[in-house]
Chains A and B, each alone.
Chain A
Amino acid sequence: MTELVLLVVGAVLVNNFVLHRFLGICPFLGVSRDIPTALGMSAAVVFVVTCAAAVTWPLQYFVLERFGAGYLQTIAFILVIATFVQLVELVLKKAAPALHRGLGIYLPLITTNCAVLGVTVLSIKKGLNFVESIFFALGAALGFGLALLIFTGMRERIARAYPPRAFQGTAIALVTAGLLSLAFMGFAGLVKL
């Protein structure tokens, strides 16, 4: 149990996927303009990443390894994740229209979010078992959400602060992201894994 908690804390704060591993930068910069959008994206990522880990772990150990096709991991994972996201979208549209409207436009976007693939590949590389890999994915996704929300809050303030003309927009956003990343380095050594 303690190990699972440490795994989650480690993935959220210490090895944050956005600020430490630099995965999922595209949605990090793209949907960080206002808080509601960022919240929707974070919720969708938490949902998809956790489920993707649950789908890819059996795929790796029961299908790919059995046939000695471990080197096809990337293509197989992409295939399965993309199918899974489409599947979830179709089912949600029918079963939970309200949830579909909330997550709707973010679900297809996540299909190509490299953080999703990164989490699944990393949990295989670390040699985690099934339960551990799910908790690792949950922590990674929560870390993504945390970083996205903090960053969005900062960008909302920057938008009203009038930075010098040359820095406006993406330039100041990237500088901010770098400083945020530096701040998260303070967590290094909190969890030793």
Chain B
Amino acid sequence: MDPVIQHTILIGMAGLVCGALLALVSHYFAVHEDPTVEALTAALPGINCGGCGYAGCAAYAKAVATENIGLDLCKPGGAETVAKMAAITGRTASAREREVAVVLCNGSRERARQAALYNGVADCAAADLVAGGGKSCRFGCLGFGSCARVCPTGAIEIADSLAVVHPELCIGCGKCTGACPRKLIKLVPESRSIHVLCINRDRGPDVKKVCDVGCIGCTLCSKACNNEGIKMDGFLAVVDYTVPLNSPEIATKCPTKAIAVRPGVKKEAAA
């Protein structure tokens, strides 16, 4: 026989044997998986951010299918995912409001004063250990982007030594809140737009010395809203995110412009 034909048959046969072998093995070694787990995994966003507390989307889907775990733990998925998962499992659940991260510091390079030139490892935790990095403020954002590095969606931008969250990209997984050595990042409901961008607890004059836009504890904002919405915690004004606060003009009361109005992705719900 012509060797070309012979060898074509040889390779063809080899392919057939391999295919048959695979078919046989996949038949005898088939693993019967729960179809709801697969459907639930498909319904989840699949970014494996870990915000639900499980190792990834597949692990959460398995937990939902086998144990009585809440359907509303997936923060990136939001209401849509909850509805899909409720349809698959036949359970009822309502979505909680989407949360986005906000960095509670507005002290960029021009606004916050520098105490020293930090030239070490470009990492917030490292800078915090070395006498608190370069900035004078011991509460402020160090700006080396430890939060930006752990963000699975790249929603955090470092500009002028200051981390800023882009709310439209943020999925609310909360990884950055743990990465920040100064605990500056907070998850807030998406519809909230008024934030006190400072966590400096020092007295007013001391804050003034280190930053132009720090909270000096003048209490003007908390008085303007009758101590509801914004409360004083020592020398620091703190937004109470459980109470509705719908007056953007409160930001104009702040003498140091520490209160920011940032329109969220969704418009503020009408009170």
B117, CB-defined interface residue at 8 Å: no
The number of chain B residues with a CB under 8 A from chain A is 20
Question: Chain B at the A interface: mostly helix, strand, loop or mixed?
Answer: helix
A80, CB-defined interface residue at 8 Å: yes
Q: Which of A83, A87, A160 is B122 in contact with, Cβ under 8 Å?
A: A160
Segment among A10-18, A64-72, A169-177 that sits at the interface with chain B: A64-72
Task: Point out the residues of chain A lying under 8 angstroms from B18, CB to CB.
Answer: 79-80, 83
Q: Which of B29, B122, B149 is A90 in contact with, Cβ under 8 Å?
A: B29
Report the minimum CB–CB distance from B4 to chain A (whole Å).
Answer: 10
Report the minimum CB–CB distance from A147 to chain B (whole Å).
Answer: 25
Q: Are B22 and A90 in contact (CB under 8 A)?
A: yes
Q: Are B123 and A91 in contact (CB under 8 A)?
A: no
B68, CB-defined interface residue at 8 Å: no
Report the minimum CB–CB distance from B57 to chain A (whole Å).
Answer: 14
Q: Are B15 and A90 in contact (CB under 8 A)?
A: no
Q: Are B26 and A162 in contact (CB under 8 A)?
A: no
Number of A-B contacts (CB under 8 A): 50
A93, CB-defined interface residue at 8 Å: yes
Q: Are B11 and A94 in contact (CB under 8 A)?
A: no
Q: Are A94 and B29 in contact (CB under 8 A)?
A: yes
A193, CB-defined interface residue at 8 Å: no
Task: Point out the residues of chain A lying under 8 angstroms from B11, CB to CB.
Answer: 69, 72, 75-76, 79
Interface readout for A156-185 with B: 1 if CB under 8 Å, 0 if not? 000111100000000000000000000000
B10, CB-defined interface residue at 8 Å: yes
How many angstroms between the C-alpha atoms of A193 and B14 in the bound complex? 35
How many angstroms between the C-alpha atoms of A75 and B10 in the bound complex? 12
How many angstroms between the C-alpha atoms of A79 and B11 in the bound complex? 9
Q: Are A87 and B22 in contact (CB under 8 A)?
A: yes
Question: Chain A at the B interface: mostly helix, strand, loop or mixed?
Answer: helix
Task: Point out the residues of chain A lying under 8 angstroms from B19, CB to CB.
Answer: 83
Task: Point out the residues of chain B lying under 8 angstroms from A80, CB to CB.
Answer: 14, 18
Q: Are A90 and B26 in contact (CB under 8 A)?
A: yes
Report the minimum CB–CB distance from A54 to chain B (whole Å).
Answer: 16
Task: Point out the residues of chain B lying under 8 angstroms from A94, CB to CB.
Answer: 29-31
B6, CB-defined interface residue at 8 Å: yes
Task: Point out the residues of chain A lying under 8 angstroms from B122, CB to CB.
Answer: 160-162
How many angstroms between the C-alpha atoms of A75 and B7 in the bound complex? 12
Chain B residues within 8 Å of A, Cβ to Cβ: 3, 6-7, 10-11, 14-15, 18-19, 21-22, 25-26, 29-31, 121-123, 149
Q: Write 17 A-B pairs (CB below 8 A) sorted by A numbering.
A: A67-B10, A69-B3, A69-B11, A72-B11, A76-B11, A79-B14, A79-B15, A83-B19, A87-B21, A90-B26, A90-B29, A93-B29, A94-B31, A160-B121, A160-B122, A160-B123, A161-B121
Lowest 4 A-B CB distances belong to which pairs? A83-B18, A94-B29, A69-B7, A162-B122
Known: A69-B7, A90-B22. 17 other contacts (CB 8 A): A63-B14, A69-B3, A72-B7, A72-B10, A72-B11, A75-B11, A79-B18, A80-B14, A83-B21, A86-B22, A90-B29, A91-B25, A91-B29, A94-B31, A95-B29, A159-B149, A161-B121
